Every structure is written in C-alpha cells, then in structure tokens.
A and B are shown apart, each in its own frame.
Chain A
Amino acid sequence: MSDIAIKIDNLSKQYIIGMMRKTDALAEEIAKCLTQILHRGWNRKAQLDTIWALEDVSFEIKHGEVVGIVGRNGSGKSTLLKILARITEPTRGCAKIRGRVSSLLEVGVGFQPELTGRENIYLNGAILGMKKAEMDRKFDAIVDFSEIEKFIDTPVKRYSSGMYVRLAFAVAAHLETEILLADEVLAVGDVEFQRKCLGKMGEVANQGRTVLFVSHNMGAVLNLCPRAIFLHSGQLVHDGPAESTIKNYLAFLSSKGEQGFDNNPQRSGNGAIRLVGARILNEVNQASSHLVAGRPASLEFRYKNINGERRGANVMFAIYNQLGVAVSWFDFALSHGVVERLGSGGVFTCHVPNLPLPIGQYYVNIKLEVNGEEADFVPDALVFNVDNSDFFKSGRTPQLRFCTCLIQHRWTQETEPEPEPTLIRAQ
C-alpha cells in the first residue's frame, strides 16, 4: 500500500441536470414547486433528471507514475480530476491520496488584472498552496522562466495574452508537491512557449513525481505518459500502456464517426438550417473514405432549410488528424462571402485539387451558420483515411510524427567546386 499514491474505488459522481443551471432565483423555485404540486399532487416525489458524469471508476497509481487520461468532451475526465482535487465531492465511492497534492485545472487561477506581475505571483502561489518563504526562494526562477522581467511591476491587465499565460504557467511550473493533477494546461501560449511547457512537464515527470494528466493532445500524452486511461461516458474503458490506450481510443472514435449525424450526442446548434448528409468524394467523384495524398478530392455537404430561413448562410469545416490536432480550416464565406438567398435546401461542395495530407486517419467537424449564429454543429461527422501518397510523385511521404500537412515545394542543389590549392606567399 505504501507505494500507492492514488487509490480510487468505485468513484461515481451524479449530477442533477436541473442543478447545472447557472443561477436559481427564489421566485423560479417557488413557481416550479407550485406547478409540480398542481401537476402531480402533493404525494409524488418530483422526478429529477440525473446523469452520471463518472460511474464506478477504480484504479491505482503508484508513486512516481505519470498517467494520462484521454476521452472525448463530457467523458468524465474533468469530473475525475475535480473530485481528486477536492473541488467537488463524489456521490459514491472513495479515493485515497498519499502525499501533498496540487491541482492545475487552469493556469492563472485567481489572477487579479489590477495587480502587478510581482503581486500576482505571490497571490497565485498562495492560492496554489505555496508558502510565502517558498515563493520568496523561487521568485527569481519564476520570473526567469516567464521571460517578462521588464514588466514584472506592470499591472497584469496591460499584458498581452501571451505574457499573461507565460507568467501563469511559470508559477504553476514551480510547484513542488509530490502529486500533480493537471488539466490541459499545455493548450496555452505560442508554439515556442508550448514547447517549453512540455519540456517542463517532461522534467516534472522525470523527477519521480506522480502526475495525472488530462489532455486532448494525443501527442503530448504519448510523449509524457507511459500509462494512459481512456474514459467514456463516465466509465473506464481501457487502462494500460499509453500506446495501446490511444490505439483503443482512436479505434473507438472512428467507429463513432460512422454513426452519422442523427445519433451524435455532441451535435448542437439552433437548427435554423440542418445538415442532412455529408460525404467525401475521390478524384472520380465516387463516395469513398479512402483518399490518396496529392490527388484531387472533394467534400460535399447537403443541407435542408426547413424553417424557410432567408438570411446569409455559411458552411465551414475543420480537419483533425488522429492525434487531435487541427490540420486545416475551410470556410465558404472566407472566399465567397455568405450565401444570401437560400432555397429549401442545397449542397455545398469543397474541391481540393491535391490533397496535402500525410498518411493517417482524419476527422471532420462541420458547422453551418446562419447570420453568424451556429445553426448546426456536428463534430466528428466524417472520418477518412489517407492510405497512399502521390504527393511528391515518388510514392513516399514523411512520417506523421514529423508533419501535419504536406507543402508543395521544390529543391535546388549545387555542389561547391573543389577548392583550388592556394599558394602560400612567402613573407
């Protein structure tokens, strides 16, 4: 038992859906009670809509283990972290944590825009559980890491968002607790700083500290965590080495994609117009989910206009690779402006002359907008594979590890002539 840092037993959390509303007003509550009494009579207990955000999850983490948690939005990852961080209580089950814990659910918690960078370092540090003496000791290192020495006495509200995030992460990076619970903290800052943060996380992972790391970034999980846990609708689906968990997760995602639009639980939008079909066409205009890099392809989106909307419509979609990284964004209005006249339905087709994607699996999120408002949003609406490449006319493409897209380019090459033997002049 002594080498176990975190032990979780049948941890469950139930939310009452009505409870998730932002604010309750007393008047509303009374009105609700009255209607309930009128409709159901006194005796029947009100039926509450509930969901289990986390259901009977059990696992153990040893001291010094670095564990990633993956899963779609709403799979219970954050709820799990919030329970372990003691922000919210479980409904059932228990967890035991041995050692000092710090949680990083967000960088810059409690940052006060009116205060200076220096003041915020102390405030944020205290909120994260650092002692004043500890902060005095680490102050210079924090400032150094954040690269904002010059602005340390400027109110944080005058910072650029990049500076703000750098300072916030710098404080968090200097926590020295034995157990670290981190949620997506890497999704911040510019690329250069993200690399630095990842480096710091790697360092933390190598220091023999216990880390529980929730992320959408599969690449980061693969790099940092030897072990990963996959959650889906509040349940633990897979727990094992990171590669096998992620493979499992990706396989799950692609099986999900074939469900089409109707059963997609993540679908949202006001429904002014609705997407009724989408498909991927290869170069000979056949529907296919297997494409060839460097060859033409098109994506076709069919919509219905049931409500008779006449205002400007737009379609956009994003392509994600299997690591969850957005590869590119396509937006009808960017090149053509919005569609001013809408009939009762129609088709948008997007033609890509030579597909610049490395070999791998891809997901497409589609969004329809009417008058700037989200009419229909379908995440993971399409899944396709790129299995062959004709991009460089050599049949070969770089590995996915080193690129997210292919760029048309040409090389030139010159060889310097052999240097001629020079004469050494006599003095």
Chain B
Amino acid sequence: MIVSRPEPTADISVIQIEPSRGWAFPKLWELWEYHELLYFLVWRDIKVRYKQTVIGAAWAILQPVVTMIVFTLIFGKFARIPSDGLPYSIFFYTALLPWNLFANALTRSTNSVVGSASLITKVYFPRLIVPVSAVVSAIIDFAFAFVVLVGMMVWFGIVPSWRVITLPVFMLLALITALAVALWLSALNVRYRDVGVAIPFFLQVWMYASPVAYPVDMVPPTWRYVYSLNPVAGVIEGFRWALLRKDPPDFTVIAISAVLVLALLLGGLVYFKRMERIFADMV
C-alpha cells in the first residue's frame, strides 16, 4: 500500500500562540482567507430560516406587506399623516424595506456570537465572520420584499430615474451601520445577555427616530440637524430619493453620519478583537 504523505509545502505556515496584549486592529485579510466559510454560514442561515414552514420564503414578503397595510390604514387613512404627495402605502413601504434590512441585520448580528457558541468553543476561525455573515444573510429577506416594491411601482406608474443606480450605496450604508453597532453589541452580549433582551425595544425607539412612518418635514427645523445625523434617516431619505423622485436629502449630513458610522465601525472592530479572546471562555 502506498501511503500518501502530505507534501511539505514550501511556504509552511507558522502559527504563534501567545497571550494578546492591549488593543489591536483585527487582521481583515483573514476574512478573505476564510471567505468560503463566510459563504457557507450565510448559505446555512438562508437555507435554515424557512425550513419546515408551510409557506416558506413567502414569510419574507408577508411580514412587510401586512405591516404596510396596517400602517397605511392607521397613519395614512385615519391619522392622515402627510406623505409628500405620494400614496402613503408606497411612501411607507419604500422606507420600510431599508429599515427592515437594517433592523434584521442588527438583530441577527447582535445575537450571532452567542448563537454560535457551539462553533466558537469548538473550532478556530476569525470570529468576525460570525457577525458579518449574519449581516449579509439579512439581504435575502430584503430581496424578496423588494419584488413587491417593484410591483407597487408598476401599479402606481412610478418610473424611477437614473438615481436608482445609487440604491446599492444606501443599502451598503444600512448594512455597515448595522454591522458597526452590532460589533459592539454582539461582543457585549457575550458578557451581558441584557443586550439581546433589550435589542427589540432599542430598535423600536430607533424606528420612531427615523422617518419610516412620517416624512422628515414633520420634524421641527431646530431638531432637523441632529435628527439627520441618524444614519438610518439618511438611508431612508436616500431610498425615497432614488426610487420615488422625492427631493434630494441633505448629502452633507449623510456624509457626516457616514463618517460617524465609519468611526463606530473602526472602534467596533477594535473592541470586538479585544473581547474576542474571552468569547470561548464566557459564551
């Protein structure tokens, strides 16, 4: 019998194991080394999400559509909240999509590290993959719900302009905001499970601080500037601008909030890296 001896590769890798000291930036290139694992974790999330449900992925459509009907009745018809001259349903739905994208990404990502305890205590991989894969897998529900939006635009005869190509930028901003916040929260959640419990409430408050159910004009001008620093407000305004030809949002404010998000993201990466070392012992 010929025994296959593993080829001694030239670039034999050396792993150095030492206690880490102080604060450091995570090695982002490791994410690329493990991109196949990232792919499989996202794929698993998507595969498992609607297994053994009767209507399957239709849930991803049903939830936002029913929310839209309820809000349209209550805020559009009964409370008569202005909707910038657009039908309330499409005005609301265009904002609900990016909001849900953000909220789902943040919720999943915050709970991801605790939820992956069995992996984290048994095998090595860059821990950053866990919250990142949770954020990425939120895109799939967005994609399903987006189909309905296209249908509604056809129904109301709204033709998007060239601005529709900027949509991915706003999507990216929503996802990065979610990741930036989730890096802090998911690491905190390992130590304090309060975070996981508080997140639905936290998101509810955040939703009312974002122009999902009402136009941004309703915010008093004195508050407007602080209000627009909420990056999600920028994302929602951007969506409405790109798809519904509404007035352009204030891009300087969006740029400022994007810079804030970036700072939060960099801080989150360092904090996550710092906390990473106790994950396996505490989770």
| Chain A contacts to B: CB under 8 angstroms | 15, 19-20, 23-27, 29, 82-101, 103, 105-106, 109-110, 112, 114-115, 119, 122-123, 126-129, 131-132, 155, 176-178, 206-209
Known contacts: A98-B12, A131-B36. The answer to whether A83 contacts B6 by CB under 8 A is no
User: Is A87 touching B51 in the complex (CB atoms < 8 A)?
Assistant: no
User: Is A112 touching B15 in the complex (CB atoms < 8 A)?
Assistant: no
Query: CB-defined interface of B152-191 with A at 8 Å, one 1/0 digit per residue?
Result: 0000000000000000000000000000000000000001
User: Is A178 touching B6 in the complex (CB atoms < 8 A)?
Assistant: yes
User: Is A87 touching B14 in the complex (CB atoms < 8 A)?
Assistant: no
Give A131's nearest chain B residue, CB to CB: B36
User: Is A105 touching B122 in the complex (CB atoms < 8 A)?
Assistant: yes
11 new A-B contacts at CB < 8 Å, known A115-B48, A127-B125, A206-B3: A24-B193, A83-B17, A86-B17, A89-B18, A93-B19, A94-B18, A100-B13, A101-B15, A126-B41, A129-B125, A209-B6
User: Is B17 touching A87 in the complex (CB atoms < 8 A)?
Assistant: no
- The CA-CA distance from A20 to B278 in the complex, in Å, is 11
Chain B interface SS verdict (over half)? mixed
Query: CB-defined interface of B64-104 with A at 8 Å, one 1/0 digit per residue?
Result: 00000000000000000000000000000000000000000
Give A120's nearest chain B residue, CB to CB: B44
Q: Considering the complex, which residues of chain B in the window 109-155 have a beta carbon less than 8 Å from any beta carbon of chain A?
A: 118-125
Q: Is B52 an interface residue (CB 8 A)?
A: yes
User: Is A103 touching B193 in the complex (CB atoms < 8 A)?
Assistant: no
Residue from the list B3, B20, B122, B125 in contact with A89, Cβ < 8 A = B20
Most buried by A among B5, B44, B282: B44
User: Is B281 touching A94 in the complex (CB atoms < 8 A)?
Assistant: no
CB distance from A9 to the nearest CB of B (A): 10
Residue from the list A89, A112, A115 in contact with B19, Cβ < 8 A = A89
User: Is B15 touching A87 in the complex (CB atoms < 8 A)?
Assistant: no
User: Is A96 touching B14 in the complex (CB atoms < 8 A)?
Assistant: yes
Known contacts: A87-B280, A109-B119. The answer to whether A115 contacts B17 by CB under 8 A is no
Known contacts: A19-B282, A109-B122, A209-B6. The answer to whether A123 contacts B18 by CB under 8 A is no
Instruction: Kindly list chain A residues whose C-beta atoms are within 8 Å of the C-beta of B121.
Output: 87
Instruction: Kindly list chain B residues whose C-beta atoms are within 8 Å of the C-beta of A96.
Output: 14-17
CB distance from B6 to the nearest CB of A (A): 5
Q: Is B4 an interface residue (CB 8 A)?
A: yes
Q: Which 5 interchain pairs have the tightest Cβ spacing?
A: A126-B40, A86-B124, A95-B17, A97-B15, A114-B51
CB distance from B232 to the nearest CB of A (A): 26
Instruction: Kindly list chain A residues whose C-beta atoms are within 8 Å of the C-beta of B194.
Output: 25-27
Most buried by A among B17, B52, B121: B17
Give B198's nearest chain A residue, CB to CB: A26
User: Is B19 touching A91 in the complex (CB atoms < 8 A)?
Assistant: yes
CB distance from B199 to the nearest CB of A (A): 14
- The CA-CA distance from A221 to B51 in the complex, in Å, is 43
- The CA-CA distance from A340 to B6 in the complex, in Å, is 63
Known contacts: A25-B193, A207-B3. The answer to whether A88 contacts B17 by CB under 8 A is no
Give A20's nearest chain B residue, CB to CB: B281
- The CA-CA distance from A132 to B38 in the complex, in Å, is 12
Q: Is B37 an interface residue (CB 8 A)?
A: yes
CB distance from B61 to the nearest CB of A (A): 21
Q: What are 9 A-B contacts with C-beta separation under 8 Å? A: A25-B192, A85-B123, A86-B17, A89-B17, A97-B14, A103-B124, A112-B48, A114-B47, A209-B6
User: Is A84 touching B48 in the complex (CB atoms < 8 A)?
Assistant: no
Give B43's nearest chain A residue, CB to CB: A123
User: Is B281 touching A105 in the complex (CB atoms < 8 A)?
Assistant: no
Give B123's nearest chain A residue, CB to CB: A109
- The CA-CA distance from A85 to B17 in the complex, in Å, is 9
- The CA-CA distance from A82 to B281 in the complex, in Å, is 10
Give B45's nearest chain A residue, CB to CB: A112
Q: Is B224 an interface residue (CB 8 A)?
A: no
- The CA-CA distance from A23 to B189 in the complex, in Å, is 10
Instruction: Kindly list chain B residues whose C-beta atoms are within 8 Å of the C-beta of A122.
Output: 40
Known contacts: A110-B118, A115-B48. The answer to whether A94 contacts B17 by CB under 8 A is yes
Instruction: Kindly list chain B residues whose C-beta atoms are within 8 Å of the C-beta of A23.
Output: 193
Instruction: Kindly list chain B residues whose C-beta atoms are within 8 Å of the C-beta of A208.
Output: 3, 5-6
Most buried by B among A27, A128, A129, A131: A129
Residue from the list A24, A82, A206 in contact with B280, Cβ < 8 A = A82
